[in-house]
Amino acid sequence: MGQFREPTKEELERRRLVGVHAEHVSDITSTDFPGHYPGEDHKWDLEKFKKSFNVEFHKHEQYDTQFSLVGIDTAVANAFRRIMIAEIPTIAIEDVYVMRNTSIIQDEVLAHRMGLIPLKGNPEAIKQMKWYKKKTPGTDEEDDQRTDYNTVVLELEAACEWHPEGKNMARKGETDPKKIFINSSVYAHQIKFLPHGKQVQLFAGENAIQPAYPDILIAKLRPGQSINLSMHCVKGIGADHTKFSPVATATYRLLPHIQITKPIIGADAHKFARCFPPGVIEEVPVTKEEARQTGSGYEGHEGEPKAVVKNPFKDTVTRECLRHDEFKDKVNLGRVRDHFIFSVESTGQFDSDDIFIQSVKALKTKCQIMKKNMENLMR
């Protein structure tokens, strides 16, 4: 077997970039696979992956996290994103039993609104909940059994009445319904949790099942109107219905790359900086050393502002600078193909970083199942 040659560091950096041009993009497809470059060995290596892979956190809040995964393939990054959206189990309101609804909202619309209210509770207890299998319509199946292991019961009861002084206030010209009525607006915090069996211990105190955002408006009522609902929450995944998705958003973008190839000085530097979001390009004065250096392009411009790249992370890969002739051949735009900036915003049931960890575990399980099936196939 012949010796493999190693590409230079500059060549490897060039291959990492996706080119962004005025009217097209280039070098989109990945090339780091065996056989693409003659004489080079691109087989996957665990030790090499460990050295190149990196995780960087940019924002770490309970329900809103932004971090970078550096050194992985697009297929893997996209797998994490899709799993977070569609395959992490959560609980949500599935069945709504309407005892009374004299509001102007139709029963089916009200039930739909209730299902979309994100819930929270003891995260570990939610993960341990069992799956509920619905009874098939038109059959006599005996497996339609709701237990404290697979179903959480909630209720909502609200009736609108006149405030004791409401009619007098209305005669005096008061129009604020919150002052002249009681329960003129029904909010999510009025939903009550009815624990059964072991749920009394599992979802006790602050860990009780409750709306993640208590100020969600459910309906508006007027005197004589009321709502009385019983709701059953079950475990599900976002692939079945978006109400089970644990994330409001789970996205990624590639790290922008900006390379200034020729000096941009003076008024052009200011115009160049305005082509990008604030903080991306900085104007700094040309130093005495740069002005004296032959061939630098800064000769005779000591003290004048020049454009330098400060923080490409803030860029949205705008192509505005490519529209101006004065910047032609002075800047190269691109994206780093293996630097993925993830933004994960949780709906409140799980912490955002925990959602990503669950997606890693889910992908690992899929790989283990695939490996086992391949072994069985080879027997």
Superfamily of domain 262-329: RNA polymerase, RBP11-like subunit (3.30.1360.10)
CA angle at residue 105 from 103 to 106, to 5 degrees? 110
Separation in Å, CA 117 to CA 89, 93, 167, 218, 244? 16, 8, 34, 9, 10
In angstroms, the CA 113 to CA 262 distance is 57
In angstroms, the CA 80 to CA 67 distance is 13
For residue 104, the model assigns a pLDDT of 94
Contact 287, 305 (CB under 8 A): no
For residue 35, the model assigns a pLDDT of 80
Question: What are the start and end residues of each CATH 3.30.1360.10 domain in the chain?
Answer: 19-88+246-261+330-379, 262-329
CATH of domain 19-88+246-261+330-379: 3.30.1360.10
Identify the three-state secondary structure at position 85: helix
Question: What are the start and end residues of each CATH 2.170.120.12 domain in the chain?
Answer: 90-135+144-244
Contact 355, 86 (CB under 8 A): no
Contact 103, 256 (CB under 8 A): no
Which residue type sits at 329? D
Spatial neighbors of 223 by CB under 8 A, at least 6 apart, are 160, 161, 162, 181
The pLDDT profile of the chain, 379 residues, written as one tens digit per residue, is 457 788 888 888 888 899 999 899 998 888 877 788 888 888 888 888 899 899 999 999 999 999 999 999 999 999 999 999 999 999 999 999 999 999 999 999 999 999 999 999 999 999 999 998 877 776 665 556 888 899 999 999 999 999 888 788 878 888 888 888 999 999 999 999 999 999 999 999 899 999 999 999 999 999 999 999 999 999 999 999 999 999 999 999 999 999 999 999 999 999 999 999 999 999 999 888 888 887 878 888 888 999 999 999 999 888 999 999 999 889 999 999 999 999 999 999 999 999 999 999 999 999 999 999 999 988 8
Contact 337, 77 (CB under 8 A): no
For residue 30, the model assigns a pLDDT of 83
CA 283 from chain centre, in angstroms, equals 34
What length does the chain have? 379
In angstroms, the CA 22 to CA 256 distance is 15
Superfamily of domain 90-135+144-244: DNA-directed RNA polymerase, insert domain (2.170.120.12)
- Predicted TM-score (pTM) of the model is 0.87
**Which residue is it, tokens 């293996």?**
338
Largest separation between any pair of C-alpha atoms in the chain: 97
